[in-house]
Amino acid sequence: MDPDSNHGQHPETFTKAPEVELDPLSVVPEPVRAHFPGEEPPPGLRLEDLGPGTEAEPHIRQALLGEPFDDPLAPGSVRCLACAHRCALRPGRIGICGVRQNRGGWLYTLVYGQLVVARAEPVEKKPFFHFLPASYAYSVATQGCNFHCAYCQNWQISQAHREGIVPESWHVSPDQVVEQAVASGVRSIAYTYVEPTVFVEFALDTMVRARAAGLHNLFVTNGYMTPEAISLVAPLLDGANVDLKAANDSFYRRVCGARWDPVRESVIEMRRLGIWLELTTLLIPGLNDDRRELRAMAEWIGTALGPETPWHLTRFQPAYRMAEVQETPSRTLVEAAKIAREAGLRHVYVGNAPDVESATTNCARCGEPLISRRDFAVTEWRLVEGRCPRCKHALAGVGLEDSPVVV
């Protein structure tokens, strides 16, 4: 049997966010400190040199998801368990993401509440097409990322540490984020623009408060999380859009400095835990637009996650270290969508290309148009209590029972 297969386990439809009994204390483990033999600092380092942030540095906080790492040459090393890099950090060292550091034998986050983005956006822009359509999400991000994709569209914040950029940022508390989100009339908070796992402590504290305020939590993620990180956030996470960059190891290694297997495993684990999933793939000419590879990706999605999993195929725009690569031609997007549909996927969308095709959701069973959109706005809603008016098949997604206000 295909080890990726969840056949028979994934629900045909997914119409409701999972109910969670919320006990914030039960999901937050204690920070862990590395062992210094005899509590002696390693040569060249005084423990007090790299302690907690001062009052003037409220963004420097003890991190979660760290464990002592036994390095005979560097006592006081810690391993970060937030993402699949599992960086082993000697005292003073910063992880690949640029925002988590071993300070005196403790793992610290350097960006707690230090936002570089905070704004309300249509949830369709993230993109989520089957999660509370026509609602808004309050998007937040810090700097830093565990990937260094050569084509990153947000490189000024994700790669700030590599490029020597100091993005404009400001400090907020989780309560303030939720207050601002509620005041702006959104239905959810999206942790986005960079990989949210790298600021998981702030995300988690905000997620607890968001749920208490009646908001949903969404991750826009590269999926490079550890099982430990997933189980930490899963009880509070309602949906994730996973950036599926390719379905092979060579692309992840060459272009992103990462590996495919952890992404594959995370996606399957999130589905198993009942988190609503949509996938996005940026099609880059000559890199991941091969017809056979696209077919293999579509088949994998259908088998591992179910044919009603939405897949957004989006147009690449030249950026960062791939400024010389041409944007994705329209014919490539059309062909890719055709391949995905032929492979059995029911909800395939072409993004960032209004010239190519409209973003319409059709019934997975009979093909009836159900939701029409233009420029991230819902323009037509034909669902009746979340079902196709013709064949009564329930559309997969979250919050589809009630018609939103149509723009």
Q: Which residues bind ligand SF4 (CB under 6 A)?
A: 80, 82-83, 85-87, 95-97, 100, 146, 197-198
Question: Shortest approach of ligand SF4 to residue 158 CB, angstroms?
Answer: 12
Q: Please answer whether residues 346 and 307 qualify as being in contact, where contact means their C-beta atoms are separated by less than 8 angstroms.
A: yes
Question: Shortest approach of ligand SF4 to residue 294 CB, angstroms?
Answer: 29
Cβ proximity to ligand SF4, 78 vs 237, nearer residue = 78
Question: Shortest approach of ligand SF4 to residue 53 CB, angstroms?
Answer: 17
Cβ proximity to ligand SF4, 197 vs 281, nearer residue = 197
Cβ proximity to ligand SF4, 267 vs 337, nearer residue = 267
Cβ proximity to ligand SF4, 161 vs 209, nearer residue = 161
Question: Shortest approach of ligand SF4 to residue 154 CB, angstroms?
Answer: 17
Cβ proximity to ligand SF4, 87 vs 371, nearer residue = 87
Cβ proximity to ligand SF4, 84 vs 268, nearer residue = 84
Nearest to 97 by CA among 52, 156, 161: 161
Amino acid at 142: T
- 38-42, Cβ contacts within 8 angstroms, sequence gap of 24 or more: 40/75, 41/76, 41/91, 41/104, 42/74, 42/75, 42/76, 42/90, 42/91
Cβ proximity to ligand SF4, 94 vs 296, nearer residue = 94
End-to-end CA distance of the chain: 47
Question: Shortest approach of ligand SF4 to residue 170 CB, angstroms?
Answer: 22
**Two tokens, residue 185:** 């009339």
Neighbour-count burial of 113, counting CB atoms closer than 10 A to its CB (0-12 exposed, 13-18 middle, 19+ buried): buried
Question: Shortest approach of ligand SF4 to residue 269 CB, angstroms?
Answer: 17
Cβ proximity to ligand SF4, 199 vs 300, nearer residue = 199
Residue 381: phi and psi, rounded to 5, are -135, 110
Neighbour-count burial of 92, counting CB atoms closer than 10 A to its CB (0-12 exposed, 13-18 middle, 19+ buried): middle
Residue nearest ligand SF4 by beta-carbon distance: 95
CA distance readout (Å), 285 to 73, 312, 316, 332: 45, 16, 8, 8
Question: Shortest approach of ligand SF4 to residue 193 CB, angstroms?
Answer: 16
β pairing state of 361-362 and 170-171: unpaired
Cα–chain-centroid distance for residue 270?
A: 11
Dist. CA 310–CA 292, nearest whole Å: 20
Q: 140: which strand partners?
A: 118, 191
Question: Shortest approach of ligand SF4 to residue 4 CB, angstroms?
Answer: 24
